[in-house]
Amino acid sequence: MALAAGVDKVIAIEGLHHRLILAYSVPIRIGVMIEDGMVDYVDAANVSTPKIIKHSQKFVKQGIFVGIPRNLPNRAVIRWFAVNEFLKKKYNRNMNFHIIPELEFDGKISGREIRKSIIENNMEIPEEVKELLPKTSTKILENELKKGTIPGEKYWKNMTKRMNTCSRPNLMNIAYLNGNAINEIIKGRVYRDEESIWATFRRAGYGPVLTRLAISAIEEKVTRQEVVNLMREYEQKGVIPQEQSVDKVIERSFYVATQCEKGEEASIANEKFRNNPNIKINNVPLSIEAGLYLTEFETKILNRNLNNKNRKLEQDSSPQKPSQVNLNPKIYIDKDGKLSCEIRVEKKKIKTNLRIAAKDVTYIRYILDSQFIPVTSEIIETKSGLRVRIYIHNNYN
């Protein structure tokens, strides 16, 4: 269809950008489109172009495309328009944006509903769906369906198993799951079908796009570390806005924690940081120490294993990171919303809340609720006893 309309060449946008939320994947895709020489972009909306321009100006100024309010009309179109304008600074040009009216057929046309109707029709395209698709798209779909290259369903068996059995600490390691979502997953067990999974994420406040990302991450066991590595890779290419960089997210988390300690509401502090690019935070800590609530028996077990590990290090001349030497708890948020850790040692599982300052709680919670920044930890021995050192984004001292 594009070629018939006069397009010179059809080029796929390759890479793993689809593993990122739209606020990150849209800049990546638009950057590729501009670099490939595209000059025009067409999108559909049910509001006028002047309104799209008006709503997008705030986000262009901030250079932040996360958290566009859901009550804005056609917010996906607003994001694309805003990013296109924002990237003009980088490329000294951008694409000409064209808005056409949205096509409606018994209400808005949804890609999800189109896919659902094909699946429910025994993997054949219903006649009413053919009327909504370009002939070339229909032809490509029919060819791929005949080849069997389009799966009829996700791997729901594996997914429901993980949703039903994964512990809070293990779920916290998966990308796009925050503390609230994990608690809803635990509360919603047992899962037997797709709808029950979608309902859980709705209760956690997830929209359709973030829900699909989270479900895919669970299905493929995509970790926070994998996603943050991917983001770092695109940051180096210069297509991730600076205000959305991993370092800025960490910086914002610490700023909010600092302001909350002074009595300011987290939401106000968060908005201040987003609206004021001149706010600079120096010496953001990338590790935090916390105390543990341990029984005498648990303390003996940890001390014994800590000493054994240290003796092994003395015998081994090869350099090792602290994570390879000491015990590594998994940090998570418990059912009461408290920061906790789980330590597996000698086939035993030790769970304890963390004894940690309020400011540090806010900081770590914001990091965990970022949904993509990983944290790791280790048990350390101090004069006051055993403690846990938490590393932000695997930053070892």
* Whether the predicted pLDDT of 106 surpasses 80: no
pLDDT at 13: 62
Residue that wins the pLDDT comparison between 157 and 370: 370
Coil, strand or helix at 232: helix
Question: Helices marked H in 75-203 — which ranges?
Answer: 75-86, 88-91, 111-120, 127-130, 135-147, 156-165, 168-172, 179-187, 194-203
Global pTM reads 0.80
- 125: tokens are 């395209």
Task: Average the pLDDT over 357-380 and give the result.
Answer: 95
Sign of CA dihedral 363, 219, 171, 326: negative
Task: Average the pLDDT over 164-176 and give the result.
Answer: 96
Task: Average the pLDDT over 286-309 and give the result.
Answer: 91
Q: How far is CA 118 from the centre of its chain?
A: 29
Residue 280: C-alpha distances to residues 254, 283, 368 (Å)? 11, 10, 22
By DSSP bridging, strand 40-45 and strand 96-101 are: parallel
| Cα gap 326→380, rounded to integer Å | 7
Percent of the chain predicted with pLDDT > 70: 86
Which 8-state DSSP code applies to residue 44? E
**Maximum average pLDDT range among 1-5, 122-126, 198-202, 305-309:** 198-202
**How many other CB atoms are found less than 10 A from the CB of residue 386?**
17
Looking up tokens 């917010």 gives 75
Task: Average the pLDDT over 268-272 and give the result.
Answer: 92
Number of residues that make up the chain = 397
Pair 28, 15: CB distance under 8 Å: yes
pLDDT at 330: 96
Which 8-state DSSP code applies to residue 277? T
pLDDT band at 269 (very low <50, low <70, confident <90, very high): very high
* Whether the predicted pLDDT of 224 surpasses 60: yes
- 199: tokens are 């309902």
Which neighbouring-strand residues pair with 43?
99
| Cα gap 309→304, rounded to integer Å | 9
| Cα gap 244→82, rounded to integer Å | 14
Task: Average the pLDDT over 163-184 and give the result.
Answer: 96
| Cα gap 62→74, rounded to integer Å | 19
Task: Give the max Cα distance, the chain.
Answer: 76
| Cα gap 125→366, rounded to integer Å | 45
Pair 288, 271: CB distance under 8 Å: no
pLDDT band at 396 (very low <50, low <70, confident <90, very high): very low
What totals of helices (H) and strands (E) does the chain contain, helices first?
18, 8
Q: Which residue type does 252 have?
A: R
Task: Average the pLDDT over 22-26 and give the result.
Answer: 88
Sign of CA dihedral 79, 150, 217, 236: negative
Pair 342, 353: CB distance under 8 Å: no
Q: What is the DSSP string of 300-312?
A: HHHHHHHHHHHHH
Tens digit of each residue's pLDDT (9 = 90 or more) over 56-82: 998 998 888 988 888 888 888 999 999
Looking up tokens 């791997």 gives 155
| Cα gap 242→42, rounded to integer Å | 27
Percent of the chain predicted with pLDDT > 90: 49
Looking up tokens 């018994």 gives 106
Which 8-state DSSP code applies to residue 243? G
* Whether the predicted pLDDT of 324 surpasses 50: no
Give me the residue spans of the domains in the chain: 17-102, 156-222, 287-357+374-392
| Cα gap 349→152, rounded to integer Å | 40
User: Lowest mean pLDDT: which of 152-161, 221-230, 370-379?
Assistant: 152-161
Task: Average the pLDDT over 29-58 and give the result.
Answer: 89
Looking up tokens 């953001």 gives 284
